[in-house]
Structure 1
Amino acid sequence: MAIASVRAQAEKTRPPRALWTSAILGRPVGEPEDPGFQLRVVRAALGLLERTDGPVILEDFPDDPPGWVDNPGWVAPGTNASDGFAAELAAMLPLWQVAQARFGRTSVGLSFQVPEMWPGFAAAVLDGGLPVVAELGTTALSVRFLCDDIKALYGEAAQAVGPAPSAGQVDGWFWRRTAAGALLRRLRLVAMESGNHALKTVGGRFFVPGPRVDA
């Protein structure tokens, strides 16, 4: 039995039983600190094991996570994609620091690079280079985790002050209105055209979610 975040993938792989949820990638049973919703998803998934009409069974969980409901009071951080990634990132850093103080944690750090190093590393990849972070050992992992750190920092900065945004609001803001979102799409294209097979593989799978490739 699988809990699927991408319905098309479940349709293609055809596991014996699958429950699709509209939760954001990485949160298949719902959002942090919402045990009630998480329990409902898990119970619905386990309920598929009692069915005898499969395989294949593919069911849709009926409800969106509460965090998908837009918060009208949230104000997106001011961004201007034409300023370029380096300038935009510099403007995001103070908000990110406020978010760390507010929540007492950060998920940034997978890339083993401080944010000030990110623009130069990304530029080297866009220029056709294969830079490597020593702790990660390969260009593929170095760029993958750079992309993860960029998304994490912007997501945290978006929640630094004021009411909490929905996951959809953060997602739409990042991919439609920021230089960072545009950068990740460019990195994906470069990776897909690379002769480095590992970089091509991770670029196609991990840099940009499928629905945002053409956002």
Structure 2
Amino acid sequence: MRAPRALWVPFELGRPFGSPGEPAFQRRVVGDALTLLNSTEGPVLLVDFPDDAPGPKADDQTGWVCPVSFPTSPGAEAAPAVQLLQEVDALAPWYQLSKERRGRTLVGVSGKKVPEAARFAASFQQDLPLDDAGRVPSQAFKDAFTDILAYYYEAGTAQPGKHSSRDTQRWFWDETVAGKFFRDLRETLMTCGDKRLELIAARVMLPKTQGG
């Protein structure tokens, strides 16, 4: 049996082959992944895909206008975890609107409601992660983070208009409390001593387009 091998891609969550509507680029991603099957390197082979996914064409851009209006901004004096929970709560109507329009949601990987997932993820900032019914902490954290990211992305695109995936990504990482919170948490996890969490922080959390 050959050693495990994987192609790491810098694309957004839920788009393992890059941008939709770019068949040539997607075929290239698949080709690079299949090429790894012929490799004899090991014991574990992890190769980086070198390029970001193509962005929207110039004539497809309408400009990003953040569709989310917070009734009140989370209090600057509150602890970061509290600010995160306030923002999650403020986004709930937009998330529900998105869910109703699409008839589906990508939230649910962790098995937690989003506020619970946010509290669980925030507990890693204090180096006191909450217990998750005996699950491996790194996988439980990754699932909670995945749900939070999906929740924000779906809420952020709830209103009509053309919002590219890159626009939504920028909005999350540059303009939300959650974006700053997870940037800071990533720095903490990079040196936490748990090799699996360190790998998630280094490889999964922050897109390359945001400095990951």
Same fold, TM-score > 0.5, yes or no: yes
Offset at residue 27 of structure 1 (A) = 4.2
Aligned to 1:20: none
Aligned to 1:180: 178
Offset at residue 78 of structure 1 (A) = 2.8
What runs of 5+ residues in structure 2 fail to find an aligned partner? Answer: 1-5, 33-48
Structure-2 separation of matches of 1:119 and 1:46: 34
Offset at residue 42 of structure 1 (A) = 4.9
Aligned to 2:123: 124
Offset at residue 181 of structure 1 (A) = 0.7
Offset at residue 131 of structure 1 (A) = 2.7
Moved more, 77-86 or 96-105: 77-86
What runs of 5+ residues in structure 1 fail to find an aligned partner? Answer: 7-22, 49-57
Aligned to 2:62: 71
Task: Summarize the alignment of residues 104-123 of structure 1 with structure 2, pairs less than 5 Å apart.
Answer: 104-123=103-122
Letter in 1 for 2:160: G
- The question of whether the paired residues in 1 share the 8 Å contact of 2:152 and 2:172 is answered with yes
Offset at residue 60 of structure 1 (A) = 7.3
Alignment deviations for residues 49-68 of structure 1 (CA, whole Å, 9 cap, x no partner): xxxxxxxxx99799645599
Which TM-score applies when normalising by structure 1? 0.69
- The question of whether the paired residues in 1 share the 8 Å contact of 2:66 and 2:171 is answered with no
- The question of whether the paired residues in 2 share the 8 Å contact of 1:193 and 1:200 is answered with yes
- CA RMSD in angstroms comes to 3.5
**Structure 2 residue aligned with 1:190, among 167, 182, 188?**
188
Task: Summarize the alignment of residues 67-106 of structure 1 with structure 2, pairs less than 5 Å apart.
Answer: 69-72=60-63, 74-78=65-69, 80=73, 82=76, 84-106=83-105
Task: Summarize the alignment of residues 10-89 of structure 1 with structure 2, pairs less than 5 Å apart.
Answer: 24=12, 26-31=15-20, 34=21, 37-38=22-23, 40-42=24-26, 64-66=55-57, 69-72=60-63, 74-78=65-69, 80=73, 82=76, 84-89=83-88
**Structure 2 residue aligned with 1:202, among 180, 200, 205?**
200
Structure-1 separation of matches of 2:12 and 2:104: 20
- The question of whether the paired residues in 1 share the 8 Å contact of 2:12 and 2:18 is answered with no
Offset at residue 186 of structure 1 (A) = 2.1
Alignment deviations for residues 61-105 of structure 1 (CA, whole Å, 9 cap, x no partner): 996455995323744313546471111110111110110000111
Letter in 2 for 1:28: F
Structure-2 separation of matches of 1:5 and 1:178: 24
Check 1:125–1:164 CA distance in 2 against 1; reply closer, same or farther (3 A cut).
same
Aligned to 1:16: none
How many residues in Structure 1 have an aligned counterpart in Structure 2? 182
- The question of whether the paired residues in 2 share the 8 Å contact of 1:85 and 1:179 is answered with yes
Check 1:71–1:137 CA distance in 2 against 1; reply closer, same or farther (3 A cut).
same
Offset at residue 45 of structure 1 (A) = 6.9
Matched, 1:159 2:143: no
